[in-house]
Amino acid sequence: MTALYILLILPVLIALILAKKIIELKKGKKLADAQVSGMEISKLPAPGTVKALSILPLIDYYTDNENLKTEPGVSYLVSADDTDILLDVGFNKKKEHPSPLLHNMKALGILPSDIDMIFISHPHLDHVGGMAEQKSKTFSLSQGPVSLPNLSVYSPVTLSASRWNPGPEAQVITEPKILKEGIVSIGVIPRYLFLMGHTLENSLAINVAGKGIVLIIGCGHQTIERIIERTLALFDEPIYGIIGGLHYPVNGGRIMIGPFNIQRIVGSDKPPWVSIRESDVKSAIAAIKKVSPKIVALSPHDSSDWCIDQFKQAFGDTYVDVNVGQKIVI
């Protein structure tokens, strides 16, 4: 009797939850779109430049080096002249200490004391160091003590102090902001995602002298179309590079539960039966081609091998792999 009851009630419950989520999605998407179109973005006065820039992936999904660890998360060491910026702090899915991030930093000869700035792109689990960190709205480099120097931490939302790296308080930045000569946060571009809800994400824009703007992106929930639009509104310089996550888990994903491609379901502002499609990848490629960057490097942490292949075909020699431990020198 109980089993029959559950069998009858379960589909009704699932349908009700789904209906609620779809209503929330519609409302949230409308609000996020209104926020985006209501934002007044003007050119940045004197953003400055840097002479040298390199991006060293410390955490991502692939590596060629068997001594390094990989996971479907992001942490990049962005070295702009003499400023070392840690963009995001990885996933640490297995809640380890030392975390894959600390392991890779040690293997690559990077000390926590070398970091001058931490830039959290957005507070999702694969960027703030785990599910517990996402839930408690904090960020952790590992699940054990890590001593950080007195540095600046920037985040698009309020983050409380982590028990593991308690020192630096995160400063919330939502507007476009020059963080240091030539180093800019392009400001949040809100998006409402199915299941993940209202998401605020920042990206870094580094103005490299004689070359142009290099965008370094976490998950890319803002959509690359809007990131490009924002960058063109902020700078007079051309877009020289696009590096990082753009969230196209199409025809495959990095987090599968049975047949369900979790990244595809949670990372879209459309219902799960529409979600992220091949046509979205094609329009992203078209939007990027319009600005003719000299370097395109797609993070494999939230895009599929199929998508990477599409990018390789579209961008040819301009395309660079994102591999943990492999420095991208601009």
Q: Does 126 bind Zn ion (CB under 5 A)?
A: yes
| Residue 52 beta carbon to Zn ion: minimum distance, rounded to whole angstroms | 27
Amino acid at site 197: G
By CB under 5 A, tell whether 246 contacts Zn ion: no
Which among 273, 231, 281, 206 is positioned nearest to 43, based on CA atoms?
231
Question: What angle do the packed helices 305-315 and 278-290 form, to 10 degrees?
Answer: 30
Among residues 124, 191, 254, 264, which is the contact residue for Zn ion, using CB under 5 A? 124
Residue 179 found at the interface with Zn ion (CB under 5 A)? no
Q: Give the residue from 35, 47, 84 showing the smallest Cα distance to 186.
A: 47
| Nearer residue to Zn ion within complex by CB, 90 or 182 | 90
Count of residues that interact with Zn ion, criterion CB under 5 A: 4
Question: Cα(34)–Cα(28) distance, rounded to whole angstroms?
Answer: 10
- Before 98, cis peptide (omega within 30)? yes
- Binding characters for Zn ion, 202-241, by CB under 5 A (x = yes): -----------------x----------------------
Local structure of 65: helix, strand or coil: coil
Q: Which stretch binds Zn ion (CB under 5 A): 12-20, 109-117, 180-188, 294-302?
A: 294-302
**x-or-dash pattern for Zn ion, window 18-47, by CB under 5 A?**
------------------------------
Nearer to Zn ion by C-beta: 112 or 156?
Answer: 156
CB closer to Zn ion out of 123 and 212: 123
Residues 163 and 145: beta-carbon distance below 8 Å: no
Using alpha carbons, select from 152, 101, 106 the residue that is nearest to residue 301: 101
Residues contacting 316, CB < 8 A, separation 6+: none
Using CB under 5 A as the binding rule, whether residue 269 contacts Zn ion is answered as no
Give the C-alpha separation, 199 to 123, whole Å.
Answer: 8
Q: Which stretch binds Zn ion (CB under 5 A): 112-120, 145-153, 207-215, 295-303?
A: 295-303
Q: Which residues of the chain form contacts with Zn ion (CB under 5 A)?
A: 124, 126, 219, 302
